[in-house]
Amino acid sequence: MQTRTYEEAYRASIDDPETFWREAAHDIDWFEFPASILDADANGTSRWFRGGKLNTAWLALDRHVQTGRGDNTALIYDSPVIGQILRWTFAELTERVARVAGGLENLGVTQGDRVIVYMPMIPEAVIAMLACARIGAVHSVVFGGFAAPELALRIDDAKPDVVLSASCGIEFQTVIPYKPLLDEAIDLAASKPAHTVIVRRPQLEAALIEGRDLDWAAWEAASEPVPCVEVDAWDPLYILYTSGTTGRPKGVVRDNGGHAVALNYSMDAIYGCDAGDVYWAASDVGWVVGHSYIVYGPLIKGCTTVLYEGKPVRTPDAGAIWRVIAEHGVKTFFVAPTAFRAVKKEDPDSTLKRRYDISCLDYLFVAGERLDPPTYEWLKQTVHTPVIDHWWQTETGWSICANMAGVADADERETRPGSPSFPVPGYDLRILDDDGNELGPDEEGNVVVKGPLPPGTLPTVWGDHQRYVEAYWSRYPGFYLTGDGGYRDADGYVYIMGRVDDVMNVAGHRLSTGELEEVVAAHPAVAECAVVGIADEDRGQVPLGLVLLKDGVNADPAEVESELVQMVRRRVGAFANFKQALVVPRLPKTRSGKILRQVIRRIADGQPSTTRRSLRRSRPRCANAA
């Protein structure tokens, strides 16, 4: 528990950020403490902890062994889809990570080289990430559901020397072949990795390509453990791709020093967890939550982390979440609202929860998408423990807003439905109109953060710093543009109302409308199209496609829709949940020809086509919105 109240911590972080983060930096073990706390790099970007030397894998594993906690459980792998639960201590996990790191070195991977990880939720995914960190290699985890063309884009951008993958993933009882997707992606990519290492799961024994592919089990067994290397605080730890408005993914870079300090601070201050506590983030290692709070945050803090290969329902039922919490003694649980909407749909009265004792659960955190008030109220009635909405992004790596569980006055601060509460220390959050004027209470505008951003946030976009500047800092110089709209009420509570750019949030997955439109526009019958994210009770948002057919094309709209659904599935992946493509006579546009996607979205959601008191934006009227 932090000794400061929320207000004391927040004011200290804004008024004197260097002192605040110097204190937080002393809470992790450095090989060499930073020469300066806040500085600027050659691009003029604010950077934290210049000159600090450390190793993130050492912080997550070796140091716990050295301080006598080697026999404590570090990782619990719970897989209802294969009926297996396995546990590793810090000492056991350190041994496996060191051996895999040695295997990577044997394949020629050195400090600064990139390694792509394309895996399901299996222990080797966690081990792969930590092994890269151990030798200073830069990992880029690609979500296992991504289709081959999307994986190829990431291979070409990161240019990995090695790809670590698996023969298959498993969703419910369906085996999803990964190896064919990886093979296709490598064929499509201009950059060819020298090697792939494949975890050959018994559910699908994939054939290996001689000279390129290696069997993970044999490779790991033949490798010798290697020690951690010393890296600089500013050295990149990983690249994580997130959807951009152009359809070309942005490679968010995370550095080692700021990342370790921020996540270590957040585990206690935000989530109320300390060494020995069990923490479960029900996400995927392919997303930022998996990076921050399945792998790095809990292990750096010395917590036990849960790696869950399953779904909230039908593995085997809607009681899956309650079983995991009870069986493993989870103290803090973090999940997207989509998961509980699925549970609520199948078990609205929470009858399955009565089978399990979840008295161990102190906090329930939700993020990844807006927590709608009905789901919030259902959760409060169901779990009888604090339900804490919080908001953050792939780019920030940890919370921008939260009702912090670890501050001294945590019990005195109420939560409010629909609000992630208050800005976290380090984030100087403002609400601006389109002209850069700060708005007052209950006025909706663009949510921004005044620079410098706190430690742990992105310092650049991989290989394209100008894109970083243009995407995040050019609209309002000196302010980071989150891309979300929102407002503050009279008491300072923040409300995030959704994206103001062309990015949608489907069950916590950020998808670019431009990316989907590119696929839809490739259909030979389509002359023009628009894709928007519309409200969905279960997934938060789902994509809706509106298409104009070419003159003279006499196609059955139902057939066109079916073909487009299959095209998106093949090109992007089934997780995009693209199931609706409507043929329309025209699209609403501005006089300059820009499609009014926000107007389409609001009409589809049954909302007025003007914003709440606010973005102070003049929009042309359009009577034929769809």
Least confident of 18-32, 256-270, 548-562: 548-562
3-state SS, residue 65: helix
Report CA torsion sign: 361, 365, 371, 377: positive
Pick the CATH number of 505-604 from 3.30.300.30, 3.40.50.300, 3.40.630.30, 1.10.3720.10: 3.30.300.30
As a whole number of angstroms, the distance between CA 90 and CA 68 comes to: 10
Backbone angles phi, psi at 113, to 5 degrees: -70, 155
Domain borders along the chain are 6-310+390-445, 505-604
Among the listed residues 461, 604, 486, 469, the one whose alpha carbon sits nearest the alpha carbon of residue 536: 604
pLDDT digits (tens, 9 = 90+) for 365-383: 999 877 877 888 889 999 9
For strand 399-402 and strand 422-423, is the pairing parallel, antiparallel, or unpaired? antiparallel
Q: What is the mean pLDDT of residues 523-551?
A: 84
What's residue 510's pLDDT? 66
Least confident of 37-46, 88-97, 141-150, 427-436: 141-150
As a whole number of angstroms, the distance between CA 357 and CA 346 comes to: 20
Backbone angles phi, psi at 198, to 5 degrees: -115, 125
What's residue 575's pLDDT? 80
What's the residue count for the chain? 626
Q: What is the mean pLDDT of residues 8-18?
A: 98
Q: What is the mean pLDDT of residues 203-227?
A: 97
Q: How many Cα atoms occupy the beta-carbon half-sphere of 50 within 13 Å?
A: 12
CA angle 399, 402, 408 (to 5 degrees): 115
Q: What is the mean pLDDT of residues 294-312?
A: 97
Beta carbons within 8 Å of 54's beta carbon, 6+ residues apart = 28, 29, 30, 31, 32, 230, 231, 233, 256, 257, 260
As a whole number of angstroms, the distance between CA 585 and CA 198 comes to: 49
Report the interhelical angle of 17-25 vs 256-269 (nearest 10°): 90
pLDDT above 50: residue 624:
no
DSSP 319-334: THHHHHHHHHT-SEEE
Structure tokens at 426: 């380090």
pTM of the model: 0.85
- Which of 169-178, 395-404, 496-505, 512-521: highest mean pLDDT? 395-404
Q: What is the rounded end-to-end Cα distance, in angstroms, of the chain?
A: 53
| Comparison of pLDDT for 550 and 486, the residue scoring more | 486
Cα distances (Å, whole numbers) of residue 485 to 391, 476, 532 = 12, 14, 16
pLDDT digits (tens, 9 = 90+) for 52-87: 999 999 999 999 999 999 999 999 999 999 999 999
How many other CB atoms sit within 10 Å of the CB of residue 538? 13
Beta strands in 90-200 (DSSP E): 114-118, 138-141, 162-166, 168-171, 174-177, 195-199
Give yes or no for a contact between 567 and 605, defined as CB atoms under 8 angstroms apart. Answer: no
What's residue 622's pLDDT? 28
What's residue 594's pLDDT? 56
As a whole number of angstroms, the distance between CA 297 and CA 266 comes to: 8
Domains 6-310+390-445 and 505-604 share a fold: no
Report CA torsion sign: 601, 510, 387, 5: negative
What's residue 604's pLDDT? 79
Give yes or no for a contact between 442 and 487, defined as CB atoms under 8 angstroms apart. Answer: yes
Strand order in the sheet with 422-423: 391-392, 399-402, 422-423
Q: What is the mean pLDDT of residues 272-301?
A: 97
Q: How many Cα atoms occupy the beta-carbon half-sphere of 297 within 13 Å?
A: 32
As a whole number of angstroms, the distance between CA 182 and CA 566 comes to: 19
pLDDT digits (tens, 9 = 90+) for 540-587: 788 999 988 887 788 888 999 999 999 988 888 888 889 989 898 887
Radius of gyration over every alpha carbon of the chain, rounded to an integer in angstroms: 24
Topology at the third CATH level for domain 6-310+390-445: Rossmann fold (3.40.50)
